[in-house]
Amino acid sequence: MLQLRWFVLWATYCIAIVTCDKKWWQTSVIYQIYPRSFKDSNSDGIGDLNGITESLWHIKEAGIETIWLSPIYKSPMYDFGYDIADFKEIQPEYGTMQDFENLIREANSLDIRVVLDFVPNHSSNESEWFQLSANRTAGYENYFVWADGTPDPNNPGKLLPPSNWISVFRKSAWEYNPVRKQFFLHQFVIGQPDLNYREPRVVEEMKNVIRFWLDKGVSGFRVDAVPFLFESRPEDHGGKYPDEPRANILETTPDDYEYLNHLYTMNQDETYDMIYQWRDILDEYESKDGKPRVMLTEGYADIKYVMRYYGNGTHDGSHLPFNFEFLNNINNQSDARDMKFIIDKWMTYMPIGRTANWVNGNHDNKRMASRQGIDRADAMNMLVLLLPGVALTYQGEELAMTDGKVSWEETKDPAACNTDDPINYNKFSRDPARTPYHWDDSNYAGFTSGNKTWLPVADNYKEVNLKAQMAAAKSHYKFYKDIVALRKTNTIINGDLEVKVISEPVLAVMRYLPNEPIVLAITNLSSSEHTVNLLEFFRVLPENMTVYASSIAAKLQKGERISTSRLVLSPHDAIVLVSSA
Ligand code: NOJ
């Protein structure tokens, strides 16, 4: 009897350990590298793989455990690598397969994991698959979404596109191919024909792409443009691709993507099953060698659709569907109530047992410090790093890098070039967020030792750069790095979350776990001083706490003891307080 009780106790203890034991990806900071703009090792003005390998010291020094590389595959670069000509080859201007293998080896030796971009929705129109499909080569006929044109009633002999669908980058999503004498679908640029996921051979090809890179030692994938994988079938609409209805958004023209409501080209039910199938592959690898792999999914969609990526009652899906709520719904006018609302939204919708993630920016959006204001950059970094789960950092966010200036003549992004509008192109351009990383104050910010860069370097690199911020007594980088270190504590890994609006401009986020130090992140979003009594909001707080980290402009300094009943916050403070255990 006694033995049985011991056994039960021991088993309970083991289960407790297993359930508390998080997998690496559940607690990681994932740092997005845009390879073209990170570090150039061969002086051609374009970042490359050896540049990343040389720079791994920075990732390690910052305490970051995982890097995600935007596409490095062979590509004509109409959409800077998201138009892939060969899914299993490296783009020559980025290096060779050997360079890639070397990068993986070096990263692993530093305990840094590498996640790659997986771009399943489309290939390049210069891929062999597309050429074979355009020629109707046996086996490849249905690799892409092909359809006959409709005769133009006003223009005999002319063909109109099969439906009114619009590309994300403006104008018709259909392009006529004179070889095949049919239109093909491209939800992004013309050079990105959509693969046809109703063709089993495509499904298998792309699964093999996943296996190919897993065999090379990558730890997972960020999956691109997931909502676009499937389109409605003509069979379900009287034999024709159905027109999409108008969205009735003011000030849009028929060429604008926002002009239509994308009922038939996004978020189709079949999408989720495809994610579950990819998840199975990652799980198979994990069950073979015991090493967990991760899938992050990109979907700008209503939160209910995004939550379906996580899985359903019977099937696991994406480990981390990107949480774009900060990106989409928080700006430099947002107050503490808006922030709490957005944090609670994700935590409320997320299915039980899943891992949250927090995104401040990426290569497709204005840089975080430009969108939120430099004053708020530390606060935004603090939030994504201290909320439960995974924090995403886009290269440069740790320095509060702002958008670079890119003239119309220098503009490369198809989203901007397609506007043909030298005045308003910047509204659409993603180039300002993609200008080279600021390593130091030498020529071209230390990005290259050559005499040109593919996009201009932002003007402020002499003040805003890694070297200067590492040397300064206080800097955005040092604040960021201190908080990354705090993520290794039990409180942040396993602790509960409580978010409180202290006043309109003051937000407080508490993380706590019994018998562990309490962590409290507090920010004053306004430009005036505020004195707060935290004890009115968090009863468990002790009377005194210690300042663990303080933002660049804060008066309170690291190590200072403060009174939680009378905390004075200066304008734009972001402060992390800890209690003694
Ligand atoms: C999302 C990527 O992040 C973006 O850069 C790209 O243009 C589209 N998907 C198309 O692949």
Considering the candidates 40, 231, 298, 431, report the single residue annotated as catalytic.
Answer: 298
| Catalytic annotation present for 89 | no
Output the pLDDT for position 237.
97
CATH code: domain of residue 169: 3.90.400.10
Examine residue 410 and state whether it is found in any structural domain, yes or no. yes
Residues 246 and 267 in one domain: no
| Catalytic annotation present for 224 | yes
**Residue 464 is which amino acid?**
V
Pairing of strands 390-394, 357-359: parallel
CATH code: domain of residue 524: 2.60.40.1180
d(CA 440, CA 442): 6
What are the Cα distances from residue 537, in Å, to 91, 166, 347, 491?
A: 54, 50, 20, 19
d(CA 475, CA 477): 5
Considering the candidates 48, 79, 83, 224, report the single residue annotated as catalytic.
Answer: 224
The total domain count for the chain is 3
Residues 473 and 541 in one domain: no
Examine residue 19 and state whether it is found in any structural domain, yes or no. no
**Residue 6 is which amino acid?**
W
Residues 89 and 131 in one domain: no
Residues of the chain with confidence (pLDDT) below 70: 1-20, 581
- Structural domain boundaries enclosing 541: 496-578
Residues 40 and 155 in one domain: no
d(CA 163, CA 231): 12
Residues 257 and 362 in one domain: no
Global confidence as pTM:
0.95
Residues 41 and 129 in one domain: no
Question: How does the average pLDDT of the chain come out, rounded?
Answer: 95
What are the Cα distances from residue 56, in Å, to 26, 53, 60, 62, 209?
A: 22, 5, 6, 10, 26
Is the beta carbon of 375 within 6 A of some atom in ligand 1? no
Residues 57 and 142 in one domain: no
CB 70 within 8 A of CB 224: no
Residues 319 and 363 in one domain: yes
d(CA 571, CA 548): 18
Residues 503 and 571 in one domain: yes
Residues 449 and 409 in one domain: yes
3-state secondary structure 12-42: HHHHHHHHHCCCHHHHCEEEEECHHHCCCCC
CATH code: domain of residue 372: 3.20.20.80
Residues 501 and 453 in one domain: no
Output the pLDDT for position 20.
59
Examine residue 313 and state whether it is found in any structural domain, yes or no. yes
- pLDDT per residue as tens digits for the range 345-357: 999 999 999 999 9
Residues 239 and 216 in one domain: no
Report the candidate in 247, 310, 302 with the shortest Cα–Cα distance to residue 279. Answer: 310
273 in helix, strand or coil?
helix
Output the pLDDT for position 17.
40
Examine residue 352 and state whether it is found in any structural domain, yes or no. yes
Is the beta carbon of 258 within 6 A of some atom in ligand 1? no
Examine residue 346 and state whether it is found in any structural domain, yes or no. yes
Residue 260 phi/psi, 5° resolution?
Answer: -110, 160
Is the beta carbon of 82 within 6 A of some atom in ligand 1? yes
